[in-house]
């Protein structure tokens, strides 16, 4: 009894701890949790749940008894699920609670090859862009393919959740977050909803833009479509036009994610998707996913403060343009 009392004396309530939930797969438990806490005068500091991008599809099983997985026809479904909860929860007895999406990605399966594909890069950026207002956090699931729920993976690219393979090879999804990290702290006015334009403290500028095109239209299972190479189709040209850039000399750099651009998975498929990688094959996959610029050159911005660049764009390309002050 004395030991229990001593332990209780050492325990203190820290009001900085936030208590919330329900961290459910979907949103159905959010309102009941709020109602329970309001009725019982129980603390509730935030709402959390998971949102993934699969749709109903045709359903069914493959020849091995595995569930067939289909991308939602709505490629913004994780973002729209999250944003849809904002108005719904604000109409409850606890309006204004922060919303944390503590798991999300294109698929809830750790054996879905969509996670390895270059398609995942613009998909990630689209969800984050559309949840800037009203959502406290979006926690991508997950950092690495070293993941225990379904047991150890048997192949290098097995459709794992991670941004990195078990071997540490960077997937296209990894570079989506790296490109975001390259943006300066000041976001600038911008009329394109599929992009960010930012500025750093030295007067440099960064433009991150993407195309998001549904590759399957929800008609082909992910395990079928994404296990074969699919070259990106041309989408036309994109024109970047910046104004009020401080006059001076800059280094311009262009870096890409897309088909055969920081795209280790397509390179893996092209060598026959071996169940195990030789050292030479592993090194080749690392070499095609370094995140290095595709092109660099010196440019000058004149007194009018304008910079313009026109570039070809393919389906599901991601482009990062940077102007670094000299």
1 has pLDDT over 80: no
Residue 155 included in any domain: yes
Using a 10 angstrom Cβ sphere, with 0-12 exposed, 13-18 middle and 19 or more buried, the burial of residue 241 is: exposed
Q: In 10 A of CB 141, how many CB atoms?
A: 19
pLDDT (tens digit per residue) in 87-142? 999 999 999 999 999 999 999 999 999 999 999 999 999 999 999 988 999 999 99
Is residue 1 situated within a structural domain? Answer: no
β-partners of residue 261 are 258
Chain position carrying tokens 């929800």: 218
Q: pLDDT (tens digit, 9 = 90+) per residue, 166-201? A: 999 999 999 999 999 999 999 999 999 999 999 999
> Under a CB-based contact definition with an 8 Å cutoff, are residues 52 and 39 in contact?
no
* pTM (2 d.p.): 0.93
The Cα 316–Cα 212 span in angstroms is 5
Range of the domain at 269: 9-325
**114 inside domain:** yes
Distance CA 82, CA 138 (A): 9
- Ramachandran angles phi, psi of 13, nearest 5°: -85, 125
| For the chain, percent of residues with pLDDT exceeding 90 | 85
CATH code for the domain in which residue 141 is found: 2.60.40.1500
Domain assignment present for residue 54? The answer is yes
Q: How many CB atoms lie within 10 A of CB 247?
A: 12
Is 309 domain-assigned? yes
The values of phi and psi at residue 244, to 5°, are 60, 30
- The pLDDT tens digits of the residues spanning 214-256 come to 999 878 999 999 999 999 999 999 999 999 999 999 999 999 9
Domain for residue 181, yes or no? Answer: yes
Here the tokens at position 213 are 């095109």
Query: How far is 23 from 145, CA to CA, in rounded Å?
Result: 22
Handedness of CA 154, 159, 161, 165 (dihedral sign): positive
Q: Are 197 and 190 in contact (CB under 8 A)?
A: yes
* Residue, of 319 and 1, whose pLDDT is higher: 319
pLDDT the model gives residue 247: 96
pLDDT digits (tens, 9 = 90+) for 48-62: 999 999 986 545 666
Q: Identify each DSSP E strand in the chain by its residue range.
A: 20-25, 46-52, 54-55, 70-71, 99-105, 137-140, 186-187, 195-199, 205-210, 234-242, 248-257, 295-301, 307-314, 318-325
Rounded CA gap, 51 and 30, in Å?
Answer: 13
Closest-CA residue to 21 (of 5, 36, 40, 1): 36
pLDDT at 29: 95
For 138-173, how does the pLDDT look when each residue is reduced to its tens digit (9 = 90+)? 999 999 999 888 788 889 999 999 999 999 999 999
DSSP 47-93: EEEEEE-EE-TT--B-TTSPBP-EE-SSTTHHHHHHHHHHHHHHTSS
In a domain, 2, yes or no: no
Contact 212, 123 (CB under 8 A): yes
If one counts the domains in the chain, the total is 1
């Amino acid at each position: 009894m004395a030991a229990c009392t001593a332990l209780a004396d050492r325990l203190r309530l820290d009001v900085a701890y936030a208590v919330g939930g329900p961290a459910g797969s979907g949103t159905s438990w959010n309102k009941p949790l709020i109602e329970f806490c309001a009725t019982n005068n129980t603390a509730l500091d935030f709402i959390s749940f998971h949102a993934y991008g699969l749709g109903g599809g045709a359903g069914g099983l493959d020849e091995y008894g595995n569930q067939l997985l289909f991308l939602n026809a709505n490629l913004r479904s994780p973002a729209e699920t999250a944003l849809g909860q904002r108005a719904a929860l604000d109409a409850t007895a606890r309006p204004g609670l922060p919303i944390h999406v503590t798991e999300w990605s294109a698929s809830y399966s750790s054996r879905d090859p969509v996670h390895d594909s270059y398609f995942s890069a613009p998909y990630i950026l689209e969800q984050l862009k559309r949840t800037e207002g009203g959502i406290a956090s979006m926690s991508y699931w997950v950092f690495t393919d070293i993941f225990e729920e379904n047991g150890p993976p048997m192949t290098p690219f097995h459709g794992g959740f991670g941004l990195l393979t078990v071997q540490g090879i960077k997937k296209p999804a990894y570079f989506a977050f790296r490109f975001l990290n390259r943006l300066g702290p000041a976001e600038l006015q911008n009329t394109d909803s599929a992009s960010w334009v930012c500025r750093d403290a030295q007067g440099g500028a960064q433009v991150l833009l993407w195309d998001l095109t549904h590759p399957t239209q929800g008609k082909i299972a992910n395990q079928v479509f994404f296990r074969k190479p699919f070259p990106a189709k041309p989408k036309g040209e994109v024109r970047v036009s910046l104004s009020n850039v401080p006059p001076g000399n800059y280094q311009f750099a262009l870096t890409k994610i897309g088909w055969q651009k920081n795209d280790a998975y397509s390179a893996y498929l092209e060598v026959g998707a071996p169940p195990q990688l030789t050292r030479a094959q592993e090194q080749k996959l690392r070499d095609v996913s370094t995140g290095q610029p595709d092109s660099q050159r010196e440019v000058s911005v004149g007194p009018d403060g304008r910079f313009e660049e026109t570039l070809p764009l393919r389906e599901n390309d991601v482009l990062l343009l940077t102007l670094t002050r000299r």
